[in-house]
Amino acid sequence: MYETLTYVGGVHRHEEMEELIEDLGGFVLQENMLQMDLILTLAVPIDDVEKVKEKARELLGKVKVAPMAGTEIAVVSPTLARHHLPHAACDIAEYLRRYGAKDNMIGLARGAGKGISRISEEEKQLINEHDIAIFALGSFKHCIKEKTHLFEDINVPVVVTGAPKIKVEELPGATAYVSGFGRIPRRLKRGENIRALKKLVRVVEEILDNRRREIAEDPPLVPPIVVKSEIEHQVHAIKNIYSPTPVTSQLDGVRVKLNYERYHKDIEKVKVYDYKLGDIAEIKPSIMYDYILVKLLPETSLV
């Protein structure tokens, strides 16, 4: 059993933390270097968390639990236009990253206006590749209720945000609704905005925990973080990827940022424990840049 953590510290001697994680049998899920600061998202055996905290104190860094680590979240805005995408949607995405999430911003091609807003099948497929979707909508109740067709047949859990208070039962297809957002022409820095962001985090964490419990009832043969580690060690082309998180963990698989046509056979041959990845997972092209999407199959489907 692994615990996901976020380590924040300086660049100096950071390799000591990474070596400790490796010695404990843990994994570095994500690494971000911001000037002289380093942010590591980690997965370590739950019994060894105190050792990591002790090392962090030695390096004058900080460690906190990252409940969203190992998940990929879609933050969806009706359009890329400036009256929809900036501020609320961007701040939501940035805030979720503080809790370990890997999120992707998605602006729909034809979402402007409650009467003409649309979502294409390709956009739905892209959203369904994530663990959860957050639809950042507007400030008017009737407008939000007119746009439920954007998410009513999305397969992953959907959290809708907007300004007014609305019962989630009034939004077909939504798993949860969080008020206090909407179109805000500034950064979300005021007290009421921070409280809304914290509530959103609690809601997303609860949904992810429920999803983890569902997966635990019929789990895959190997955890996604182990698959991520083996792909990084066995597929040498990963070292040539300059995009952040070249292998992105999800609750039930990973996204590999390599071209499907060129590299899917290499991914299929990756050895994880006593298995070939192609035998225990569905490996298919992603809608996102023709990347490779690896979805681990549950044990019952392999018997």
Give the pLDDT confidence of 31-63 residue by residue, as tens digits.
877 777 888 888 888 889 999 999 999 999 999
CB distance 42 to 16 below 8 Å: no
| pTM summary value | 0.87
Residues 6+ apart with CB under 8 A from 295: 252, 253, 281, 282, 283, 284
- Counting every residue, how long is the chain? 303
State yes or no: pLDDT of 86 exceeds 90: no
* Mean pLDDT for the stretch of residues 184-191: 78
Selected residue with higher pLDDT from 39 and 218: 218
Q: Look at residue 229 and give its three-state secondary structure.
A: helix
For the chain, helix (H) and strand (E) counts, in that order, are: 9, 15
Task: Please return the burial class of 292, using the count of CB atoms within 10 Å of its CB with bins 0-12, 13-18 and 19+.
Answer: buried
For the segment 100-124, the average pLDDT, to the nearest whole number, is 86
Give yes or no for a contact between 100 and 67, defined as CB atoms under 8 angstroms apart. Answer: yes
pLDDT at 234 over 90: yes
Q: Is the dihedral of CA 197, 202, 207, 209 positive or negative?
A: positive
Structure tokens at 29: 């899920």
Percent of the chain with pLDDT over 70: 97
Alpha carbon distance 234, 249 (integer Å): 16
Q: CA 48 to CA 69: how far, in whole Å?
A: 17
- Helix H or strand E segment including 103: strand 102-107
- Residue 171, token pair as written in the block: 């939004």
- pLDDT for 98 equals 83
Averaged pLDDT for residues 68-83: 85
Q: Say yes or no to pLDDT of 275 above 90.
A: yes
